[in-house]
Amino acid sequence: MKLGFLTACLPERDLTDIARWAARTGFEALEVAGWPSPDDRNHIRVDRFDEAECHRVRRIFAETGLTLSSIAYYENNLHPREGAQVNAHVRACVDAAAALGCPTVGTFVGRDPGLTVRDNLKLATDVFGPLVEYATARGVRIAIENCVMKSWHPDGYPGNLAYSPELWEWMFTLGLKLNYDPSHLVPLGIDPVAALRPYVANVAHVQAKDTEILPGAIDRYGCYGPISGEKGWYRFRVPGLGQVDWVRVIDALHEAGYDGTVSVEHEDPVWSGSTDRVQTGLGIAYRTLRPMIPG
């Protein structure tokens, strides 16, 4: 098992600088952001991936000794207007991953908010069937993060249909894999370890993010949060500063034989605002997880 982080938290930094800092700090892997321009989360330029870009990325990982665990592009593949464009970029991420020897591409299922859940699942079957076939032919797995993405629905309902074990089982029938993130299970009242244990064989990647429950806020908003659609009664933190029991989570992964990457996803509002603060937050996550993931 390797310990890494998702580069999207450092959009202002070049991939070379990020990789050198990661290696010096003791991280062993990077999950690299691959959004299209003009989004600044594009540490791999998937939208203009050519021999020069392939050589640049390969050189960075060769020089630092890091592992490229996944190419990250978390967008709505079922968007009613932009879905086809998102699907095309997922294919481009798969092509880049195959060229770089990267095993996974991370994305979301998404949702069309104008359709019922059942109709969305039918749509997703049609969309992801060809995407999985395309990726499999190139030796790449598509890993879906179990984020709820309430902000994608006008009323704050789940905007990414991958938030529960029931939906994971549906995804697996399509050949999709799970990018397991325990932080999203805590606000749903789901035990992250109990949810994980039956499905470790289908986990292709792990994201490490924590969840802090804000005292008293749920008594005002309820579990669905405020009418604005914001989270309201919880917030994401770096591992070690929330409610996730990382000893149990990592132990369950070890016990089941998971030997992939645990990638810190830094969305902590306390440790944000500058490169130094983000790196401090990543350092907190590193010191929390390193004892459980021997380097």
Predicted confidence (pLDDT) per residue in 260-290, tens digit: 999 999 999 999 999 999 999 999 999 999 9
Tokens describing residue 264: 């810190």
Give the Cα-Cα-Cα angle 82, 157, 91 (nearest 5 degrees): 30
pTM passes above 0.85: yes
The burial class, CB within 10 Å (0-12 / 13-18 / 19+), for 179 is buried
Can you give the pLDDT at residue 151?
87
Q: Are the C-beta atoms of 149 and 159 separated by less than 8 Å?
A: yes
Domain 2-292 has CATH 3.20.20.150: yes
Residue 271 to residue 268: CA distance in whole angstroms: 6
Are 100 and 58 in contact, with CB atoms under 8 Å apart?
Answer: yes
pLDDT of residue 227: 75
Between CA 121 and CA 112 the distance in angstroms is 10
Residue 148 has what pLDDT? Answer: 94
The predicted pLDDT at position 229 comes to: 57
Residue spans per domain, the chain: 2-292
CA distance to 16, 42, 295, per residue, from 23 (Å):
11, 20, 12
Other C-beta atoms lying within 10 Å of the C-beta of residue 203:
18
For 261, the token pair is: 């990457």
Cβ within 8 Å of residue 108, ≥6 positions away: 74, 75, 76, 77, 144, 145, 147, 149, 160, 162
pLDDT at 231: 65
List, for the chain, all residue ranges whose pLDDT scores fall below the cut of 50: none
294: closest CA among 250, 244, 239, 232? Answer: 250
Cis omega before residue 38 (within 30°)? Answer: yes
In which element (H, E) is residue 71 found?
Answer: strand 67-72
User: What pLDDT is recorded for position 223?
Assistant: 82
User: Amino acid letter at 151?
Assistant: S
